[in-house]
Amino acid sequence: MKVFLDLIVGDPQADRAVPPTGMTAQLTVFVAGVMAFLAVLALALSLAAGRVADRWAEELAQASTLRLPASPDQADAQLRAAMNVLETTPGVAMARALTPAEQQALLEPWFGPDLPLDSLPIPQLVEIIADSDGYDQAGLAARLAAEVPGAVLDDHTRWRAPLVAAAGRLRLMGWVVIVAIGAGMAAMITLAAHAALAANEQVIRVLRLVGARDIYIARAFVRRFTLRAGGGAVAGAVLGVGAVLLLPRGDVAGGFLTGLGFAGAGWIGPLVIPPLAAIVAFFATRAAALRRLREQT
Amino acid sequence: MIELDNVSYGYGDHTLFSQLSLVLAPGSFHFLTGPSGAGKTTLLRLCYADLRAATGQVRLFGQDAAELDRDGVAMTRRRIGVVHQDCQFLDHLSISENIALPLTVAGRGAEATGDLEELLHWVGLGAQAAQRPPELSGGERQRAALARAVIMSPEVIIADEPTGNVDWEMSQRLLTLLVELNRMGKTVLIATHDMMMIRSLKSDVNARVLRLKDGALMQAGAEL
C-alpha cells in the first residue's frame, strides 16, 4: 500500500528528471481507456450471463409445467383431477392453473394482443413449484397418466440444461475476455514503456552519470505510466458504464433475458477496473524498465 | 583512492592499452595527456566505473570495481564528480536543476537550495540559473558541468577535456576553479591534449603529468 501511496504522491523533482513524452503518454491513456471500456462491457456481459445461468439453474429447477389436453367439454374435470393429484403428491409445494390472461400474455409475443383465446383449442397450463426436497417425477407422471389421460408433465430439463450450460459458458467467456484485455493492456504498456525508455536513452545516461540507481530511474517511468493508465481507465470505465446504462433492459422484453446493467455488488466491478488497470501498468512498466535498464549498460 | 593495476582494455580486436597501472592518491592532481585516440577518455571511464577492465583490477575507494553491482556503481559515482567535454545536460531542465541533479537522484534535493546558490555564484552563473543548457555559451556550460560535478562534495573530480570548447580566458578560469578544488583536498584528474594549458598551471599546483601513447602510460617530461 505504501508503495502505491508513494507512487501517487511522487517526488516532483524526480518526475522532472524524465522529460514528458507526448506520443507515448497519449497512447497509454488511450489504450488504457479503450481497454477499460471493453472490460466494463465484458464484465457486464459476464455478470448478466451469470445471473441468467443462476436463475435458470436455481429458480427454474424448482418449477415444472403440466399441460392438459385442449378439450373444452372436459376441461374443468381434467383440471380438477390434475389438481387433486398434484395436491396429494409429496414434494409439490404449490400447483396453480394459469389464468386465461396469463396464457394470453404468454402467447402475445407470437400472436399479438388480439388473440381470441376462447375460440382456439389452447391447452390449459398448470404451474407446479416443488419444495426443497422435490417430488418423484416418474411417479407423478404415472399417476397423471392414469388420472388425466393426455396430460403432459414438463420439468423443463430438456431445454433448461443446454441454456444453463450456454449461459455458464458465456459467463466464463466474459471472464476470459477480461483477462485477455488485462494481458493486452500489459503488453501495450510494456511496448510503450520500452519506447519511452529508448527515446530517453541519453537522459538515462546522464542520470546514471550523476549516481542514479536503476530503481530511481525506473520509478520515474513507472509512476508516469501508472498514473496515465489509471486516468485513462477511469475515463474508459465511466464511458463503459454509460454505454451499459444506455442498453435496453432485458426484463422489459418479457423477462426472458436479464438486464445487462450492473446491480448490487456488481457495481464493485466497474469501480475495481481503474485500480486494476493501474496495478497492471505498475507491474508491466516496472518489469519493462528494470529489464531495459539492465540491458543498457 | 583510485587504483588501476595491470589494466587492459580494447574495442573488438583492437587493444587500446594493456598492463596499465595508475594510482590517484587522495588530494593529488593529475593531468592525462596524449594524442587523440590514445584512450584517454576510456581510461577516465574506467576510473568512474563506466567501463569494466578486460583484464587487471580497478579499485575504487578500496573496492574492486568488477565486483560492484549496479547499485554499487551508482553509489561509487556519487563520490566521483565527472565533467565531460560535451557536458551532458538534460536540456528540458534549467541550469540550476541540472546542477542539483546529483542531489536530486540521491534523495537530497531539499539540501540543494543553499548550496546551489553558493555554487552558482562560485562558477559565475548566478544570473543564468533559470536558463536551459542550450541557451548558454560553451564556457558557461562547462562551468555549469563543473558545478554539477562538485555539488555532492565528491572526493574525486574527473574532467575530460574540460577546456576543449572554450577560449583561452575561459579555460584559465575553469582551471583556476579546479585548482581551488584541489586545494580544498579534492583529488583531480584532468584529461587534455592542451599542453599550453598544462604549462600555464604548473606553477600553481603540484601536478603530475601522465602521457598515454601507444598503449602505455608514462610520466611526461621534456615536452613540458
CA A161, A167, A169, A171 dihedral sign is negative
Q: Out of B82, B88, B93, name the one closest to residue A16 (CB).
A: B93
Give the model confidence (pLDDT) of B85-130 as tens digits: 888 899 989 999 999 999 888 887 766 666 788 888 888 888 888 9
Averaged pLDDT score across all residues of chain A: 83
- Please list every residue in chain A whose beta carbon sits closer than 8 Å to the beta carbon of residue B71: 213-214
Phi and psi, residue B21, nearest 5° = -125, 145
Answer whether B90 sits within 8 Å of A13, measured CB to CB.
no
**Could you tell me the three cell numbers for B167?**
577560449
Contacts with B51 from chain A: Cβ below 8 Å: none
Strand, helix or coil for residue A152: strand
Chain A residues touching residue B92 (CB < 8 angstroms): 16, 19-20
CA–CA min distance A42, chain B (Å): 42
Q: State residue A254's pLDDT score.
A: 45
* pLDDT average, residue stretch A56-73: 78
Contact B74 A212 (CB under 8 A): yes
Sheet holding B187-191, edge to edge: B80-83, B156-160, B187-191, B29-33, B207-213, B216-219
Residue B218: its pLDDT value, please? 86
Pick the residue from chain A with its C-alpha nearest to B69: A213
pLDDT, tens digit, for every residue of A149-193?
888 888 777 777 787 788 888 888 888 999 999 899 889 888 888
C-alpha cell of residue B90: 538534460
Closest A-chain CA to B109? A13
Query: In this complex, which of A20, A205, A210 lies closest to B105 when CB atoms are compared?
Result: A210
pLDDT, tens digit (0-9, with 9 covering 90-100), for B128-160: 889 999 999 888 888 899 889 988 889 999 999
Give the per-residue SS3 of A195-252: HHHHHCHHHHHHHHHCCCCHHHHHHHHHHHHHHHHHHHHHHHHHHHHHHHHHCCCHHH
Distance CA A225, CA A24 (A): 9
* CB atoms B74 and A209 under 8 Å: no
Amino acid present at B108: R
SS3 B194: coil
What's the rounded Cα separation, in Å, for the pair B170 and B138? 9
Whether A216 contacts chain B with CB within 8 A: yes
Residue B104 has its nearest CB partner, among A17, A202, A205, at A17
Asked if B77 and A211 touch (Cβ cutoff 8 Å), the reply is yes
The Cβ of residue A130 has, within 10 Å, a number of other Cβ atoms equal to: 20
State residue A9's pLDDT score.
Answer: 63
pLDDT at A246: 86
A211/B152 touch (CB, cutoff 8 Å), yes or no: yes
| Rounded average pLDDT over A32-44 | 92
Asked if the Cβ–Cβ distance from A205 to B78 is below 8 Å, we say: no
Answer yes or no: is pLDDT of A237 > 90. Answer: yes
Enumerate the residues of chain A whose CB falls inside 8 A of the CB of residue B78.
210-211
Q: How many CB atoms lie within 10 A of CB B37?
A: 9
Predicted local confidence at residue A55, as pLDDT = 76
ipTM of the modeled complex: 0.85
Distance CA A81, CA A148 (A): 7
Q: Give the Cα separation of A33 and A238 in Å (integer).
A: 9
Nearest to B142, CA basis, from B208, B182, B190, B76: B190
pLDDT of residue A232 exceeding 90, the answer is yes
pLDDT at B32: 92
pLDDT band at residue A259 under the 50/70/90 scheme: low
- Is A5 at the interface with chain B, CB within 8 A? no
- Predicted local distance difference test score (pLDDT) of residue B223: 52
Q: Which positions in chain B touch A216 (Cβ < 8 Å)?
A: 105
pLDDT tens-digit profile of A111-159? Answer: 877 777 777 778 889 999 888 788 888 888 888 888 888 888 887 777 7
Residue A209 touches chain B, beta carbons under 8 Å: yes
Candidates A13, A19, A203; nearest CB to B104: A13
Give the closest residue to A97 by CA, choosing from A118, A75, A116: A75
Query: How would residue A251 be classed by pLDDT, with cut points 50, 70 and 90?
Result: low
Task: Among B71, B74, B88, select the one facing A206 at the smallest CB separation.
Answer: B88
Pairwise CA distance, residues B96 & B132, whole Å: 9
Segments making up each domain of chain A, as ranges: 2-57+168-295, 70-150
By Cβ distance, the residue of B82, B89, B97 closest to A16 is: B97
Measuring CA to CA, which residue among B153, B138, B139, B143 is closest to residue B96? Answer: B143
Query: B29-78, pLDDT tens digit by residue?
Result: 999 998 888 889 999 999 999 999 989 999 999 999 999 998 999 999 99
Q: Which residue has the higher pLDDT, A254 or A264?
A: A264
Mutation pick from B90, B96, B103, B113 vs chain A, by most beta carbons of A within 10 Å, is B90
Round to whole Å and give the CA distance between A131 and A64. Answer: 12
Does residue A13 register a pLDDT over 90? no
- pLDDT tens-digit map of A130-140: 887 888 888 88
Facing B106 at nearest CB: one of A19, A211, A294: A211
Give phi and psi for B62, each to the nearest 5. Answer: 85, -5
What cell was used for B80?
Answer: 566521483
**Taking residues A26-38, what's their average pLDDT?**
91
Q: Are A211 and B75 inside 8 Å of each other by CB?
A: yes
Give the mean pLDDT of A23-42: 89
For residue range B154-210, what is the model confidence (pLDDT) as tens digits? Answer: 999 999 988 877 777 778 888 888 888 899 899 999 998 888 878 877 777 888 899
Distance from CA of B102 to the nearest CA of A (A): 5
User: Nearest-CA distance from A17 to chain B in Å?
Assistant: 7
Percent of chain A scoring above 70 in pLDDT: 89
Alpha-carbon torsion angle B57, B62, B67, B71, nearest 10: -130
Q: At what angle do helices A157-199 and A201-209 cross, to 10 degrees?
A: 60
